[in-house]
Amino acid sequence: MALNGFIEFFQKGKTFRPKKRFTQGTIRYSLHKQAQASLQSGINLRQVVKLPSGENLNDWIAVHVVDFFNRINLIYGTVSEYCNVTTCPTMSGGPRYEYLWADGDHYKKPTKLPAPKYIELLMDWTEAQINNESVFPVSTDVPFPKSFVSLCRKILTRLFRVFVHVYIHHFDRIVSIGAEAHVNTCYKHFYYFVQEFELVSPKELEPLAEMTAHICKD
């Protein structure tokens, strides 16, 4: 599938919540544009994710966390009306995998929740991290916190769980609207990125291991 088609699909798609944008004139905006241009040029996705020469790794990770947040919002937006308390009473990926929610604030202990509630809380929590300028600094004058990469690992691990739920429980909907190739491309991009920088553990990736082996051959 042409990567520019993938970009167009996600630019016009229905989103679960508003897209986060980068401020023009910033390094991160430039990196975002550079990453988008690479995707549209049809470069191999394994190459697209590599850190550009001379660029800061934290900036590169920050750009991708925001981009993946936006795209996974869009993907979930395409199935959200079919994901409810009745159809999805737990946040799961088949019978073997169930995810509990904890945020150290309203949910201090891991709590069983219906999938739509889990995903709503996950997106709210991720958005709060991205909007916190002490965590995701807007200016290059402000350093990233030492905990930045570990926080991004947590964000990306949780976003991966949305892929798990959508692929295992709602893939028929993705196919019915003709979005299968687009979602697969987004997943491959995400997978190659987290593999390149070791941002999601192999154990977390297990629920989609068989599918990943099938679609991530290039």
Confidence of residue 92 (pLDDT cuts 50, 70, 90): very high
Number of domains present in the structure of the chain: 1
pLDDT the model gives residue 29: 52
Answer yes or no: is 88 a known binding residue: yes
pLDDT the model gives residue 3: 47
| Mean pLDDT for the stretch of residues 74-99 | 94
Check pLDDT > 60 for residue 118: yes
**Cβ(180)–Cβ(174) under 8 Å?**
yes
Dump pLDDT digits (tens) for 9-34.
555 444 445 555 555 555 455 555 55
Check pLDDT > 70 for residue 99: yes
pLDDT the model gives residue 139: 78
Confidence of residue 43 (pLDDT cuts 50, 70, 90): low
Instruction: Provide the CATH number for the domain around residue 147.
Output: 1.20.140.30
Task: State which residues form the domain around 37.
Answer: 3-215
Check pLDDT > 80 for residue 121: yes
CA distance 33 to 167: 28
- Mean pLDDT score of the chain: 85
pLDDT the model gives residue 1: 42
Check pLDDT > 90 for residue 217: no
Answer yes or no: is 83 a known binding residue: yes
**Cβ(81)–Cβ(22) under 8 Å?**
no
Residue 2 burial class via C-beta count within 10 angstroms: exposed 0-12, middle 13-18, buried 19 and up? exposed
Say whether 96 sits in a helix, a strand or coil: coil
Answer yes or no: is 216 a known binding residue: no
Can you list the alpha helix ranges (DSSP code H) found in the chain?
3-12, 27-41, 45-48, 57-79, 115-131, 148-169, 171-176, 180-196, 202-205, 209-215
pLDDT the model gives residue 2: 44
Answer yes or no: is 32 a known binding residue: no
Q: What is the signed CA dihedral for 77, 7, 39, 124, rounded to 10 degrees? A: -30
Tell me the pTM.
0.84
Q: By C-alpha distance, which of 65, 1, 78, 3 is closest to 28?
A: 65
The structure tokens listed for 95 are 């019978």
Q: Which residue has the higher pLDDT, 8 or 43?
A: 43
Q: By C-alpha distance, which of 34, 29, 53, 35 is closest to 139?
A: 29
pLDDT the model gives residue 26: 53
The structure tokens listed for 113 are 């929740």
Dump pLDDT digits (tens) for 166-205.
999 999 999 998 888 889 889 999 999 999 999 999 999 9
DSSP character at residue 80? G
